[in-house]
């Protein structure tokens, strides 16, 4: 009797189930390492500025900019607040950013692209600060005060999208982090609670996967190359972790950034058992150090 061929959908579901197990382990490991006593009180303005800066440069560099900006503002006799940043103007902010980024640029980013980044980011930051001062009484926490603090993932997405320089991918990324209860959300909740407002996050199942090169690379190598449209990625995440699809991105993105690179570090990959790329390229080394 011929062995029955496993269908494409059966293979897909089997891989999704395996990925879910690994995502669950990843979440549990992260939660065990979380120490609320060591978490700094994160400013909402730093969240907005960090998100704006997070393009074309390394994420760790982008997210350090608010901290260094606050130190520079202090040396200028100003506070890290929207109205004070707006008051220094685009030109002075751009000059500071240029000096700050001098030895931090990605090597592959051309001089022209660097100048373009400085122009756009300085403009975006000033415009965002003007908006916060005018519409939110110069208090960025008030951005999350809308709807009496009852926030859904789609609403958080649009709260971020309203700011210049925060596109769909970046807004989805932060909404995803809010869905998993990130440190930013914890600190905002604490501050708003002291103001008499209880922040609640609902509709975590609406979180999305912000598609980037890392996510595409990992999913393609795993064997999902035929499903390479944005809607495919989103529905794969919903299939894997329907209650909070964004958690899949958190796991896959880190995997692509740290392990599934060129060349990949297959021996340390938690998904190596279901990886088509590894099976095709490292078959002789399955029992070795691959």
- Number of structural domains, the chain? 2
Specify the pTM: 0.81
Q: Return the pLDDT at 283.
A: 55
137 belongs to a structural domain: yes
Same domain, 139 and 160: yes
Token pair in block for residue 227:
């499903």
Same domain, 163 and 232: no
Question: 14 lies in which domain range?
Answer: 8-34+208-285
Same domain, 158 and 95: yes
237 belongs to a structural domain: yes
Q: Calculate the CA 23 to chain-centre distance.
A: 16
Nearest alpha carbon to residue 213 among 150, 149, 262? 262
Q: Return the pLDDT at 83.
A: 97
What whole-number distance in Å separates Cα of residue 55 and Cα of residue 289? 35
Fill in the DSSP letter of residue 177.
H
171, 205, 239 - which closes a domain: 205
Query: How confident is the chain (290 residues) per 10-residue block, as mean pLDDT?
Result: 72 94 87 51 88 94 95 96 97 98 95 98 98 97 92 95 95 90 86 90 87 90 88 92 90 92 91 92 52
User: How many CA atoms lie less than 13 Å away from 222 in the CB half-sphere?
Assistant: 27
Nearest alpha carbon to residue 18 among 270, 290, 280? 270
CATH of residue 251: 1.10.1670.10
Same domain, 200 and 279: no
111 belongs to a structural domain: yes
- Over its C-alpha atoms, the chain yields an Rg (Å, rounded) of 21
Same domain, 101 and 219: no
Polymer length in residues for the chain: 290
3 belongs to a structural domain: no
Same domain, 147 and 161: yes
Q: Return the pLDDT at 17.
A: 95
E strands present in the chain: 150-152, 200-202
39 belongs to a structural domain: no
199: left (phi over 0), alpha (psi -120 to 50) or beta: beta
Q: Return the pLDDT at 290.
A: 35
Same domain, 251 and 181: no
User: How many CA atoms lie less than 13 Å away from 163 in the CB half-sphere?
Assistant: 35
Same domain, 83 and 181: yes
Q: Which residues contact 250 (CB under 8 A, 6 or more apart)?
A: 26, 176, 177, 180
List of long-range contacts for 65-69, beta carbons under 8 Å, 24+ apart: 65/97, 65/100, 68/100, 69/96, 69/100
Determine whether 219 is exposed, middle or buried from the number of CB atoms within 10 Å of its CB (0-12, 13-18, 19+): buried
What whole-number distance in Å separates Cα of residue 260 and Cα of residue 270? 10
What whole-number distance in Å separates Cα of residue 241 and Cα of residue 247? 7
Same domain, 85 and 198: yes
What whole-number distance in Å separates Cα of residue 7 and Cα of residue 227? 16
Nearest alpha carbon to residue 15 among 236, 244, 235? 236
* Residue 275, CA distances (Å) to 171, 256, 260, 268 in order: 30, 13, 11, 13
156, 183, 205 - which closes a domain: 205
What whole-number distance in Å separates Cα of residue 188 and Cα of residue 140? 10
236 belongs to a structural domain: yes
Same domain, 213 and 276: yes
Token pair in block for residue 147:
């709807």
112 belongs to a structural domain: yes
């Amino acid at each position: 009797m011929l062995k029955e061929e496993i269908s494409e959908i059966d293979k897909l579901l089997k891989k999704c189930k395996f990925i879910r197990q690994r995502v669950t382990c990843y979440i549990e490991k992260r939660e065990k390492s979380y120490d609320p006593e060591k978490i700094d009180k994160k400013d909402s303005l730093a969240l907005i500025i960090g998100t704006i800066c997070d393009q074309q440069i390394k994420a760790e560099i982008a997210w350090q900019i608010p901290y260094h900006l606050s130190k520079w503002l202090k040396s200028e006799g100003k506070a890290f607040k929207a109205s004070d940043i707006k008051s220094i103007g685009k030109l002075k902010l751009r000059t500071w950013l240029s000096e700050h980024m001098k030895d931090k640029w990605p090597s592959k980013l051309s001089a022209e692209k660097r100048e373009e980044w400085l122009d756009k980011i300085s403009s975006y930051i000033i415009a965002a600060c003007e908006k916060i001062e005018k519409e939110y009484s110069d208090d960025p926490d008030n951005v999350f005060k809308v709807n009496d603090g009852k926030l859904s993932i789609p609403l958080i997405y649009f709260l971020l999208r309203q700011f210049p320089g925060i596109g769909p991918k970046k807004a989805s990324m932060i909404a995803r982090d809010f869905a998993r209860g990130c440190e930013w959300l914890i600190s905002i909740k604490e501050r708003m609670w002291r103001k008499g407002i209880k922040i609640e996050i609902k509709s975590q199942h609406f979180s999305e996967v912000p598609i980037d090169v890392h996510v595409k690379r990992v999913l393609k190598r795993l064997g999902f190359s035929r499903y390479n449209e944005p809607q495919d990625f989103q529905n794969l995440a919903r299939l894997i972790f329907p209650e909070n699809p964004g958690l899949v991105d958190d796991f896959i993105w880190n995997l692509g950034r740290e392990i599934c690179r060129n060349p990949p570090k297959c021996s340390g990959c938690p998904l190596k058992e279901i990886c088509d790329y590894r099976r095709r390229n490292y078959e002789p080394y399955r029992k070795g150090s691959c």
